[in-house]
Structure 1
């Protein structure tokens, strides 16, 4: 299943000037240092609501630093940190996490390798990320138990059930294993479709972090873009444990159907989409 290319002829877009790229990079480094300070000094002392506010503001500012606009299609959860909710989305980029957190804050499930990454691994661990060993199928049982407890305690969790990233032009099969957690907690599944567009409103793979691409190369691709829009299209919420969604397989297929349906939409016109209000100061 793939996105349809636009039929509208648009000339190639010029890349962002070097001074703009360097300015973004400098601001990004300072913002990362700010995040390290917040997590190391304040984050662990805050309530879930307090952490959600800081996470949303930090993520919102990161989007602005990188010249990105977040566009919302559909209806996101009314709460910034919706309780007993599992967000499921297609996975395109390392930016997906921050784009989602700029709207609906959640704790993520990530591959265990990220835990050992310099700086990023420390941030992820202290932000409450749950790590999974994707090479060990039995590890899903342990993660499901942790996820179910977090959901039952009022948490909002997020997973990328494709299990890997893609360039965003298609949708891989969903792995049903982690849907067991929301079935156990009888929570809500919130499907979200993620797409990236350039300044001419064309679908772009510039944000993709897939294949053998290094993080440095991916970051360079993002900094090179004059402007990007990340579209978060929220699908119909699915109530786990209902007669229609009484198994992880039914939940997985229904969630994938919602994401696929949203990915096939053309960019939402101005009267159908919303942009986030200006970010409050961190």
Structure 2
């Protein structure tokens, strides 16, 4: 069971968090448009690292991370929390494919959109096809992109089926697929439910749960990268899921 922080500590974190988000908005609005993608990646990485520090979340990396902004790379990961984006960006920065609802979030939506996120409405097959074309073009042009193939969040104790559709972009672009397993634990290594953003939990409830936890560790396990050119999207999806399941110590059919 995680230990909760005092109300005063939580309020201080909120104040620091608000100031950090405000600085991020100002940076994106004034500085970002003049920067190259590598320069943007460095700023994004540092901002994400500082955010996690404010929230008392330590990042633990296993395996070989591919670098700050590896070109022609599709990062794929299981999805537990809104924190996943910042945890991944603290190590390997990517442009994300995210559900369209995030675009309308106050402040966070602006930050995510300005970072080059591609938004998708999974209820519309035509929208998925259009995003796939944009994703393939971005990978072909040397971007590092990221997707959550479960298409929704879980509580982190299992692994949902992967949607294979967006793996087609990696195949078309001849990109490299980099699976990453994400797990949130206590400093002692036990499962931590505070980060989970699933079910009927609101963003406010999720944020308060994170702020109320004294300390947390996010484990990022980078598994072996896979060339996508000679594999089907279904094979890439299944291989990625199996690799992530193994890194999470889950059965392949979990």
Query: Same fold by TM (over 0.5)?
Result: yes
TM-score by length of 2: 0.96
Q: Matches of 1:202 and 1:229 in 2, distance apart? A: 10
Match of 1:248 among 233, 237, 245: 233
Q: Matches of 1:142 and 1:31 in 2, distance apart? A: 34
Spell out the pairing of 1:127-206 with structure 2 (5 A cutoff): 127-206=115-194
The offset of 1:14, in angstroms, is: 3.1
Structure 1 vs Structure 2 CA RMSD: 1.0
**Residue of structure 1 equivalent to 2:95:** 107
Higher helix share: 2
The offset of 1:208, in angstroms, is: 0.4
**Residue of structure 1 equivalent to 2:81:** 93
Q: Matches of 1:212 and 1:116 in 2, distance apart? A: 18
**Residue of structure 2 equivalent to 1:50:** 39
Runs of 4+ in 1 over 3 A off after TM superposition: none
Work out whether residues 198 and 225 of structure 1, in 8 Å CA contact, stay in contact via their aligned partners in 2. no
1:257 aligns with 2:242: yes
Work out whether residues 167 and 210 of structure 1, in 8 Å CA contact, stay in contact via their aligned partners in 2. yes
The offset of 1:13, in angstroms, is: 4.3
Work out whether residues 77 and 244 of structure 2, in 8 Å CA contact, stay in contact via their aligned partners in 1. yes
Work out whether residues 199 and 226 of structure 1, in 8 Å CA contact, stay in contact via their aligned partners in 2. no
Work out whether residues 59 and 220 of structure 2, in 8 Å CA contact, stay in contact via their aligned partners in 1. yes
CA deviation digits over 1:117-170, x for unaligned, max 9?
A: 221111111110000001112211101100011011110000000000000000
**Residue of structure 2 equivalent to 1:38:** 27
The offset of 1:201, in angstroms, is: 1.8
Q: 5+ residue gaps in structure 2? A: none
Q: Matches of 2:103 and 2:29 in 1, distance apart? A: 16
The offset of 1:253, in angstroms, is: 0.5
Q: Matches of 1:210 and 1:32 in 2, distance apart? A: 23
1:237 aligns with 2:222: no
**Residue of structure 2 equivalent to 1:63:** 52
CA deviation digits over 1:32-53, x for unaligned, max 9?
A: 0000001000111100110000
Q: Matches of 2:44 and 2:102 in 1, distance apart? A: 19
Higher Rg of the two aligned structures: 1
**Residue of structure 1 equivalent to 2:113:** 125
Work out whether residues 2 and 192 of structure 2, in 8 Å CA contact, stay in contact via their aligned partners in 1. no
Q: 5+ residue gaps in structure 1? A: 1-11, 266-282
CA deviation digits over 1:87-144, x for unaligned, max 9?
A: 0000000000000000000000011111122211111111100000011122111011
Number of aligned residue pairs: give it. 250
Q: Matches of 2:174 and 2:107 in 1, distance apart? A: 35
Partner secondary structure for residue 209 of structure 2: helix
The offset of 1:200, in angstroms, is: 2.5
**Residue of structure 2 equivalent to 1:276:** none
Q: Matches of 2:56 and 2:82 in 1, distance apart? A: 15
